[in-house]
Amino acid sequence: MTLFGTGVLKGLIVTLKNFATSYFRKPDNGGIFTVQYPEERAKEIESFRNFPFLVYDGTPEKIRCVACGICERECPPKCIHIVMETEAGTGKPAKRPAVFEIDYGLCMNCGMCEDVCPFDSIYMDHAFEVTASDRTQELVRPKETLLKSNDYFLKIRPGTATPVDQKRRAAEEKKKTAQAAATPPKTNP
């Protein structure tokens, strides 16, 4: 038979121990596990996904997105809005988005757009400090704020970006050689 009151004392000892260990133990070993946020930051995990962003190569003009609208259609909460640009003279579709907006207030960070995009142009970002004071204006992000360079993409998610880059380079090489093959070689007279 255990003495009445031992359970209570055991509990007191546990909390006393934790009080003491909080001064010298490491966080993963029973020490203080809170992170002092603005000064310290939690370890950034590569696969972390927050809101989507658009990738461009080199300069913002060279945008990968061709405004095909697949992400717009597949987005479960329908937070993407795309309008394709038309060529100034001809009025033909220019395979470039004139408008590309994502409503961050609506987006649920599921990553569907990233999965379905056939042109490797939309990916999930790491940036999570996206507060806004207005729900309808500031949280609807236009193309300009969504665009981020490929270098940034390589920096935050090297594991995803490097194979994509290799694939794209290989495709470009292939295209070049195909072009080279297609143009008839100059025949020597």
Q: Select 76 or 93, whichever has its Cβ closest to another protein.
A: 76
Of 49 and 95, the one with the shorter C-beta distance to another protein is 49
- Kindly state the smallest distance separating residue 2's Cβ from another protein, in Å: 7
Residue 100 CB, nearest approach to another protein (Å): 20
Handedness of CA 170, 176, 178, 181 (dihedral sign): negative
Find the shortest distance in angstroms from Cβ 54 to another protein: 18
CB crowding 116-143: b at 16 or more within 10 Å, else e? ebebbbbbbbbeeeeeeeeeeeebbbeb
Query: How far is CA 167 from its chain centroid?
Result: 19
Closest CA to 83 of 68, 70, 98: 98
Beta carbons within 8 Å of 105's beta carbon, 6+ residues apart: 135, 136, 139, 140
- Residue 22 or 166: the one with the smaller Cβ distance to another protein is 22
Nearer Cβ to another protein (38/185): 38
Record the tokens describing residue 32, joined without a space.
Answer: 């203080």
Pairing of strands 147-149, 52-56: parallel
Q: How far is the CB of 90 from another protein (least distance, A)?
A: 31
Distances (CA, A) of 31 to 24, 98, 136, 160: 7, 52, 43, 34
Which one, 5 or 91, has the nearer CB to another protein?
5
- Closest distance between another protein and the C-beta of residue 67, in Å? 18
Q: Which is nearer to another protein, 31 or 60 (CB)?
A: 31
Minimum CB separation of residue 17 from another protein in Å reads 8
Contact positions vs another protein (CB under 8 A) = 2, 4-8, 10-16, 18-19, 22-23, 28, 30-34, 36, 43, 45-49, 73-74, 76, 108-112, 115-116, 118, 124
Look-up of token digits 């806004």 = 132
